[in-house]
Amino acid sequence: MAVRIEKVDLPGIGVRHDLLTEGGRRLSVVSHRDGDRDLALFSLDDPDSSSESIPLNDDEAAALADLLGSSVTLSRLASLTDDTAGVFTEQLQLPVDSPYLNRPLGDTKARTRTRVSIVAIVRGTEVAPSPTPADILRPGDVLIAVGTRDGLDTLGRLIAGTG
């Protein structure tokens, strides 16, 4: 199913963008003329009646956008293996005693040594997609990697300092 988004002008208020879900629900973001934003959920019975409205400040709106974007990116990466034989996506927790803690990702030389691509770094609730060799690895980081089974196993040993 194609995603259906509608834009509704709200005279004197601003604009509302509606996402219509496959299940028939309407989830909206109301952008007020003064810059305020609300996240709204509309009733199944009356698409013009909001059953819930949550005001969002700038930081909350940005965090929600990041969270939704990150989860979609990770889901799409995970589904890559459904269609491509021999290619796997894995989440690798950086060990607390890794020799690469607080060092740039490039120091691992992971791609050259394992033929695996690190496509994102997850730190808490934030995702850094397409990390550069200059990105610093921190305690608790989770590396999202794509490659062969052997390559991913080698990467696990590499970041643990055992391989």
What one-character-per-residue DSSP string does 99-158 give?
TTTTSBGGGG-HHHHH--EEEEEEETTEEEES--TTPBP-TT-EEEEEE-HHHHHHHHHH
What is the full per-residue pLDDT of the chain (163 aa) written as tens digits?
Answer: 466 777 788 888 888 888 878 877 788 888 888 888 888 887 767 767 777 888 888 778 777 776 666 555 556 665 655 555 678 888 899 998 999 999 999 999 999 999 999 999 999 888 888 899 999 999 989 999 989 989 999 999 999 988 6
